[in-house]
Structures are given as structure tokens and as C-alpha cells.
Structure 1
Amino acid sequence: MKKKLQVFISSTYIDMIEERQAAVTAVLNAGHIPAGMELFKSGDQSQKDTIKRWIDESDVYMLILGGRYGSLDPESGKSYTHWEYDYAGEQGKRRFAIVIKDEKLMDKARENPNFMEREHYTQYQNFKSEVLNNISKFYEDIKDIKLTVMESLKEYEADDSLVGWVKSDSIQNNEKILLENTELLKENAQLSKENDILNQKLAQKTDLNGFQYAEVKSVLETTVIKLPKKVDESETEMTLFKFFVSRANLFSTGVTNSSRSNDLALYVYYNVAPKLMQFGLLEKLKVTGVQYEKIQTTKEGLRFLAQHEIEKAARIKSVKD
């Protein structure tokens, strides 16, 4: 009788729901047993032990790598997906990965900016390089995932060193696992619906050209500018955030590259504004009937400033209370 391989499917969760479901379907259609821990919350040591046991009991480890690195495991410093991948390798498991193409990733990121890693970008790139140096294939759509799964499992079926599950005394355990996975698939479908609702709520809050207020503020607070001597005798250094907030009126009325503009306006136009424009906080406007252009605060920029005022008022209130 043909042996059934247990395939542990690993990926980040929120951005890989459709891809993982396609992989599970492909594994089942190939006559094998899918397993995965995406329904468990990250960060629980007992759950990590359960993940280890599931990987230990699996014959094959499959990774679907999208554009996110995922939440970090405080013990290893790696993302949980990265940790699972390395652990499977340490246990000598057969591993193969299906990696998203850059073009597909850009499409997904346009739908939801959170599908592209920002916070741990360097770690993500290092992990991706590690994966691509081992057995891996790229995918552009769902059919690529199904095809890769079918082809890869066909090769592993011929590997005599993989025991798998066979019909004998263990048949009852086999049926139990299949039933458990059926239940997991049902729960996964329910979680997918809940996730869609959460994504809709998240999208409503993401109104700064795909960035959250806190994300933009964090970048601006870590970007330092130095005013030139012709603008400020002391050559003051300050964060881009402080400059934008303190010069809110200047940006609201706009700065131009007119020959009549003062040194401060020209410095802001050519040196500061481009840094703020990349987040959609400022925009360039063509002034009718003149040769110069104006840069002015956008609606997103005004929302950002309003959020800052709300935040500041809340801090003052908490101190008084």
C-alpha cells in the first residue's frame, strides 16, 4: 500500500491564508496528511513543545514564504516561522519551500501594506536568502503552489528512508489524524472569516498612504536634520518629527522654490520636504501663472498633525488626572 506522508505546513498567518489552504488541499489530493500549527497563538512555551512534537512526527516540512517575517520568539530572537524552519533542519527533516515572487508580493502589498515586512526587514531578507539556498521554488499564483506540492511529494514518496503512515496496526491513528485535520480545516475557515473582518477594521485605520500614524511618527522621530548656518546661526539639530510639527503653519501655507523665497523656505523645499513627501504628508502643487512650484501639507499630513494634537492633549489630561 502507498505510504502516507505527514507534511508540516509552515507560514506566517495573516498574509498567507489563501496560499496555505491551497497547500493543504494539494497535500490531501496527493493522498497525504497535512499538519500545521497556525491555529495556535505564538509565544506559549507549551505550544512550542507541541510544535516540536508535530515536526518530529512529520516526514516533510513545507514552508510558504510570503512578504512577512512574523512575530518574534523571545527565546531564539527569530520569528516563529524562521525558528520552525531551522528546527526542522536540525532534526534532519526533508524540507522544501515555496517563495513568493517579487511581482506577486507587490500586488499583495498594494492590497494590504501590512503584507510586506517593515519592522524586521533585515532579518526577513537574511531568512529568505537562507531559504533560497536550500530546496525552494517561486510561486506567482495558487496553481504554482499546488503544482509544486504535487511534484515535491511525488519525489518524497520514492524515498525509502521516509516511513510515513501505512495501513496496519496504525490505521486507527491515521484515521484519528485525518479527523483532527478535518476539524482544523473547519476552524481555519472560521478564523479566515474573522480575519477578514479584522483586516477591514485595520484598513479603516490605515489612512496615511498605507502607513499607520505610529509607524510614520517613529521614522520621523529617528530622522535627524541639521539646519544650515545661513538658516540658523547655531546650526540646530532636531528630529524631522519636531521640525514638521513646530513648522506646521509654514507647511500648511506652503513653501515655494521662487527666487523670492527666503533661505529657510528654500532649505525646506529642497532638503526637508522630499523626506516628508515619501510618506504622503506633503505634496507638490503647480501654481497657475508663475514659473515656480509650491509644496504644501496634504490631507494625510493634516490628519497626522491632528492625531499628534489628540495624542498631546491625552498626555496632558493624564498628567492632570
Structure 2
Amino acid sequence: MKKKLQIFISSTYIDLKDERQAAVEAILDAGHIPAGMELFKAGNEDQLKTIKRWIDESDVYLLILGGRYGSIETSSGKSYTHLEYEYAIEKGMPVFATVLSDSWLYSKAAQIGAGNDVFEQQEQDKYKQFKDFVHSKVIRRVEDLKDIKLSIHTTLSEFKDLYEFSGWVKGSEVEDNAELIKENRALLKENKKLKELLDKQASTRKVGRFEYEEIKEALKNKEITLPAGKIGNDEDKTVDYLSLLITFRDTFSTGVENSTSASPLKIYLYYNIAPTLMSFGLLEKVKVAGAKYERIHTTKEGLNFLAYYDIDKSNKKRAATLK
């Protein structure tokens, strides 16, 4: 679908009518939608709220900065242009500024014979602070109306590669994608059912005397510090018991022994890890016929616990793909 971007144009109004018109023409020529609030009367109590709503609905913010600061919003003491720019920056939306060069401003003042209409007279300090703030971001300095149009075309082209825009699309194009929308709804419905199933399973599964989720949470919260070299770790390492059970599930399934011929790893698991897992009924100790040593291995409940764990992991992975 071909997306049209809504470009919010922000600037002072009276002194930059030609420049705004050039921007509008460039945006329309690029196939996008210009938007701006220059016709609102300053002092309207709801003006700033309306401006913010329009900025929220736009894809890109364009500032045209000339030589004036603009109408002041009474509660903040800042100009509407200044507030608009700050709001767009705070939102993190794509912002770019075209700044009229000093030579252009002096030329404009000479042509109309009224420097007061081109340069700020009353709020010079605030204008300078605002201009410095704008210059701290990425700007494009322009010398004439053609530069404004060129800067807009160039910047919008660059933005398309940098950002994923929502944009606006024709209703007819949306209708052409009715099947895709239908499929997405079906996937969302399936995802919801799957989540409900997971929640239901999680609330009813028993492992021996305990609930599956209770054991899982308890093992996640219980930790042990493994000395360096005990399980292949180069340094002391703190690990939770759930991770240890999952990591050594195959070892526990075949059994760990306290025989003199057992490996150091199995001896460590037998004496230091297994007792805690036995307390939850996940492991049990059995005697080996004709031998003086004993073996600890996974119980039926322990196998059920591992099966629930694997099912949860598989379902969550599937649910993630449906989002």
C-alpha cells in the first residue's frame, strides 16, 4: 500500500507566508499531506491542546525558522512555535528544521522596507535561546524558496529509509487487504484461546502434593553459589535450582551416585543439589542391588514437572509467533 505522510508545518505566520506556501507545495508535490495551525488565534485556551492533537496525528514535524519568535502562550511564556517544537522532540517523532539564512532575512527586510516584520523586537532573548536549541539538532540552512522545497524532498526521502511510518492509505487499498485483515483477526483469536488455555493449565496442574507453578516459582527463587570448577564454571557462580534441574535433567534421569567411581560432577550433584530437588518430590533415592552406594534419580512427578515445563515453553513460543 502506498502511504501518504502527514507533515506538520510549524513556523511564525505573518513573516513567513511565502516560505510556508513553498513548503506546502513541496509536500503536496511529494504526494504527502501538509498540516499546520497557523490560522488559530493566539490566546485561545484550547489552542495548545488542539495543536498537540494534530502533532500526535502527524508522521513528521517540519519547523521553518525565520527571524521572529512568534505569539506567546501565556502560561508558559514561550511562543507557540517553540512549544510545538519541544513537544515534537519530546514525543521522539521525526523532526527536521529549515533555518532561513541571515542573508535571506536581511534581503527580505530590505525588500519590504519593514525590518520589524522580519526580525524579533520584543522577545529577542527568548528567540536567541530557541534558535540555539534548534541549532543543537539537525538543521538544513536555506537561502531561498527553492532551497526549502529541495530540503523537504531530500529529508523526506531520507526519513523513509530511517523510520517505519504509519501514514495514511486510501480506503480502497485497505478494502483490497480484507483477506489479510480477516487472517490477522483469526490469528489474534487463536492467540487469545491459546493464552486462556495456558492460564487454565497453569492453575490446575499438580506435581505430587504441590501445584506445578508453585514448584517452578520456588525453584526459580532458590539459589546456590557454585564454587569454581564444580560444573565447568571458571569462577564462583550463583544459579537458581530451576536452571540446574533443566540443565542436568538428563543426568538426573539416568541417576547420580555416591560411589567412589562416580565423577566429581555427579558427586557434587548428589550431595549439594539433589537434596533440595528431593524435598519437592522431583528426585528420589534408591538402593542399588548388590552395591554399597546409592543412586538418586528423577521421580515420576519429576518427569511430569519437566513435561509441563516443555509444554509451557513450546506454547509460549507458538503464542509469540501469533502476535
Question: How far apart, CA to CA, are the structure 1 residues paired with 2:15 and 2:115?
Answer: 10
Secondary structure at 2:69's aligned position in 1?
A: coil
Structure-1 residue corresponding to 2:84: 84
Deviations 1:214-233 (A, max 9, x none): xxxxxxxxxxxxxxxxxxxx
Output aligned runs, 1:122-161, within 5 Å.
122-161=125-164
Question: How far apart, CA to CA, are the structure 2 residues paired with 1:145 and 1:59?
Answer: 19
Structure number with bigger Rg: 2
Structure-1 residue corresponding to 2:218: none
Unaligned runs of 5+ in 2: 176-323
Output aligned runs, 1:119-198, within 5 Å.
119-168=122-171
Question: How far apart, CA to CA, are the structure 2 residues paired with 1:100 and 1:125?
Answer: 14
Matched, 1:13 2:13: yes
Deviations 1:258-294 (A, max 9, x none): xxxxxxxxxxxxxxxxxxxxxxxxxxxxxxxxxxxxx
- The alpha carbon displacement at 1:167 in A equals 3.2
Question: How far apart, CA to CA, are the structure 1 residues paired with 2:28 and 2:65?
Answer: 20
Question: How far apart, CA to CA, are the structure 1 residues paired with 2:138 and 2:6?
Answer: 18
Structure-2 residue corresponding to 1:113: 115
Question: How far apart, CA to CA, are the structure 2 residues paired with 1:132 and 1:170?
Answer: 40
TM-score, length-scaled by structure 1: 0.51
Match of 2:42, as an amino acid? S
Deviations 1:195-224 (A, max 9, x none): xxxxxxxxxxxxxxxxxxxxxxxxxxxxxx
- The alpha carbon displacement at 1:145 in A equals 0.1
TM-score, length-scaled by structure 2: 0.51
Secondary structure at 2:39's aligned position in 1?
A: coil
Output aligned runs, 1:65-76, within 5 Å.
65-76=65-76
Question: How far apart, CA to CA, are the structure 1 residues paired with 2:36 and 2:173?
Answer: 21
Output aligned runs, 1:1-321, within 5 Å.
1-110=1-110, 111=112, 112-114=114-116, 115-168=118-171
Match of 1:149, as an amino acid? I
Moved over 4 A (4+): 168-172
- The alpha carbon displacement at 1:148 in A equals 0.2
The alignment-based identity, stated in percent, is 56
Number of aligned pairs? 172
- Decide whether the 8 Å contact of 1:156 with 1:162 is kept in 2: no
Question: How far apart, CA to CA, are the structure 2 residues paired with 1:170 and 1:68?
Answer: 43
- Decide whether the 8 Å contact of 1:4 with 1:165 is kept in 2: yes
Secondary structure at 2:77's aligned position in 1?
A: coil
Unaligned runs of 5+ in 1: 173-321
Secondary structure at 1:97's aligned position in 2?
A: strand
Secondary structure at 2:97's aligned position in 1?
A: strand
Q: Calculate the aligned-residue CA RMSD, in Å.
A: 1.7
- The alpha carbon displacement at 1:166 in A equals 2.2
Secondary structure at 1:15's aligned position in 2?
A: helix
